[in-house]
């Protein structure tokens, strides 16, 4: 999972891209980067949070009225700065910079073919495939070369491609990852993964980029040109609403916060444990769903688990031992509120089961009499392959164990997941969603 942003025709292009990336830090904390253009391209990128990668010196170099930026999500075992984006290259037509949110499912085949034909790769990123395909195309314009490259890749993608005086925007035909376009106060245009970025920089939402659509935005032109490259078959990723996106973002006309509250309410309608005293959320991911649950159940919502917001990336280590420690560092249940109480605790999802097991333990240590765990998503059984870094099936606890067994593993008095139908109903059943994590329907092959 990643965040992307593009800015065209704004004197503050680099700082707007920076603040937009800052607003979307939740989508990726591994690395960050910005390319700008004043006719010539300049790129600064590196490992770390947005605030760690850029400083005042960066903005002296990042000149121009156009920019693209990227936050990279931590994928296990690949933390090299070479995997930071934008991917910036020089090729036959000049320079370009690419940022990508998604995942190409045929990346290994494409890469192998390119390598067999002499391509030299400098990173592990699937995005570099696209750069090579564009560079090797013989079409006369970048736009034509992008189209030719797209014909060879299969996957979920939102792409921004910057050249000296234009930016191209593409979203795959399913629109798996979100992407919206907005108008800046100075008349420039901004494209971003999430609308929460528009709020921070004072941009006005225009519309979502359509699945299968390509936008061309030129320097000095206040409007953008649109072309439908592929027939739209919308399948927005349900996990964006469940966990990934910020609650203050609106995706495809639906508020993420409102969707989460509806998911929580649906969980409550499926049954409230007898004698429950209160509802608590696992902060911050479970808060909106817990509020929806509490209201529907007619129970008090208590912020009885306090989160430490300053747990840095240092602790995001892939070993089980450190993951255990991380939960304790991050979350502290208050005995004053919990002692002797029967508690319904709501979280957005169970992946490996580590967090929920630890939370149940911490709640019991804080004196809770009963702990009823409620999950505002269906059971995660399949790895997501369209841009979210979920582990292999074997690591997903709900792949190995049924609901009762998971309940026993995490040590809760009861456990309920949101049903798949209830999820779709909460999101609005007039549309189709990418539900691969839950139903294993890998519709992009």
Task: State yes or no: residue 350 binds ligand AMP (CB under 6 A).
Answer: yes
Query: Which residues, numbered 221-260, are part of the site for ligand AMP (CB under 6 A)?
Result: 243
| φ, ψ (nearest 5 deg) of residue 410 | -85, -10
Q: In terms of residues, how long is the chain?
A: 445
The answer to whether 42 is a known catalytic residue is no
Q: Is the peptide bond before 86 cis (omega within 30 degrees of 0)?
A: yes
Out of 240, 347, 379, 416, the only residue in the binding site for ligand AMP (CB under 6 A) is 347
Q: Is the peptide bond before 123 cis (omega within 30 degrees of 0)?
A: no
CB of residue 91 to ligand AMP, shortest distance in Å: 34
Q: Which stretch binds ligand AMP (CB under 6 A): 47-55, 228-236, 264-272, 342-350?
A: 342-350
Q: Token pair for residue 31?
A: 């690395």
**Which lies closer to ligand AMP via its Cβ, residue 342 or residue 354?**
354
Q: Which stretch binds ligand AMP (CB under 6 A): 39-47, 113-121, 160-168, 346-354?
A: 346-354
Q: 323 exposed, middle or buried (CB, 10 Å; 0-12, 13-18, 19+)?
A: middle
Among candidates 344, 338, 382, which has minimal Cα distance to 363? 338
Out of 352, 381, 400, 431, the only residue in the binding site for ligand AMP (CB under 6 A) is 352
Q: Token pair for residue 93?
A: 């037509």
Q: 318 exposed, middle or buried (CB, 10 Å; 0-12, 13-18, 19+)?
A: exposed
Out of 36, 349, 370, 398, the only residue in the binding site for ligand AMP (CB under 6 A) is 349
Number of residues that bind ligand AMP (CB under 6 A): 16
Q: Which stretch binds ligand AMP (CB under 6 A): 108-116, 173-181, 258-266, 341-349?
A: 341-349
* Those residues with Cβ within 8 angstroms of residue 120's Cβ, 6 or more apart along the chain or in another chain: none
Site string for ligand AMP, 156-175 (x = CB under 6 A): --------------------
Q: Which residues pair with 302 in a beta bridge?
A: 280
Continuous segment of H or E residues that includes residue 438 = helix 436-439
Query: Which residues, numbered 189-228, are part of the site for ligand AMP (CB under 6 A)?
Result: none
Catalytic pick from 2, 158, 237, 407? 2
Distance between CA atoms of 100 and 86, rounded to whole angstroms?
Answer: 8
Distance between CA atoms of 14 and 60, rounded to whole angstroms?
Answer: 10
Out of 71, 127, 180, 390, the only residue in the binding site for ligand AMP (CB under 6 A) is 390
CB of residue 380 to ligand AMP, shortest distance in Å: 8
Task: State yes or no: residue 148 binds ligand AMP (CB under 6 A).
Answer: no
**Which lies closer to ligand AMP via its Cβ, residue 273 or residue 353?**
353
Distance between CA atoms of 186 and 188, rounded to whole angstroms?
Answer: 6
Active site residues: 2
Interface with ligand AMP by CB under 6 A: which residues?
243, 282, 285, 347-356, 388-390
């Amino acid at each position: 999972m990643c965040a992307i942003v593009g800015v065209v025709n704004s004197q503050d292009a680099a700082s707007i891209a920076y603040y937009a990336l800052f607003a979307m830090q939740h989508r990726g904390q591994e690395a960050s980067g910005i390319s700008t253009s004043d006719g010539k391209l300049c790129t600064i990128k590196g490992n770390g949070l947005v605030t760690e990668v850029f400083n005042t010196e960066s903005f002296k170099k990042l000149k121009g009225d156009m920019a693209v930026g990227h936050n990279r999500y931590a994928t296990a075992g690949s933390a090299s700065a070479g995997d930071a984006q934008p991917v910036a290259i020089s090729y036959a037509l000049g320079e370009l910079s690419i940022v990508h949110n998604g995942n190409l499912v045929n990346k290994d085949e494409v890469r192998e073919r390119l390598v067999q034909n002499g391509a030299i790769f400098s990173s592990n990123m699937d995005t570099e495939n696209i750069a090579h395909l564009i560079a090797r195309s013989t079409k006369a314009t970048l736009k034509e070369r992008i189209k030719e490259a797209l014909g060879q890749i299969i996957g979920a993608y939102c792409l921004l491609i910057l050249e000296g005086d234009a930016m191209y925007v593409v979203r795959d035909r399913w629109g798996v990852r979100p992407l919206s376009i907005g108008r800046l106060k100075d008349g420039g245009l901004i494209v971003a993964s999430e609308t929460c970025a528009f709020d921070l920089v004072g941009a006005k939402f225009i519309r979502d980029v359509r699945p299968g659509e390509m936008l061309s935005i030129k320097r000095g032109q206040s409007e953008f040109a649109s072309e439908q490259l592929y027939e739209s078959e919308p399948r927005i990723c349900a996990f964006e609403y469940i966990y990934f996106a910020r609650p203050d973002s609106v995706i495809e006309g639906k508020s993420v916060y409102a969707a989460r509250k509806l998911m929580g309410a649906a969980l409550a309608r499926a049954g409230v444990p007898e004698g429950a005293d209160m509802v608590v959320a696992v902060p911050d991911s479970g808060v909106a769903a817990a509020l929806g649950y509490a209201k529907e159940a007619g129970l008090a919502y208590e912020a009885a688990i306090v989160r430490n917001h300053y747990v840095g990336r240092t602790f995001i280590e892939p070993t089980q031992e450190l993951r255990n420690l991380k939960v304790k560092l991050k979350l502290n249940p208050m005995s004053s509120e919990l002692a002797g109480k029967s508690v319904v605790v709501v979280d957005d999802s169970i992946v490996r089961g580590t967090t929920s097991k630890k939370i149940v333990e911490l709640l019991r240590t804080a004196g809770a009499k009963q702990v009823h765990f409620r999950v505002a998503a269906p059971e995660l059984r399949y790895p997501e392959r369209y841009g979210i870094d979920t582990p292999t099936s074997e690591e997903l606890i709900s792949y190995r164990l049924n609901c009762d067994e998971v309940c026993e593993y995490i040590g809760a008095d009861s456990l309920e997941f949101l049903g798949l139908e209830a999820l779709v109903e909460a999101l609005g059943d007039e549309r189709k969603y990418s539900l691969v994590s839950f139903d294993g329907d890998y519709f992009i092959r």
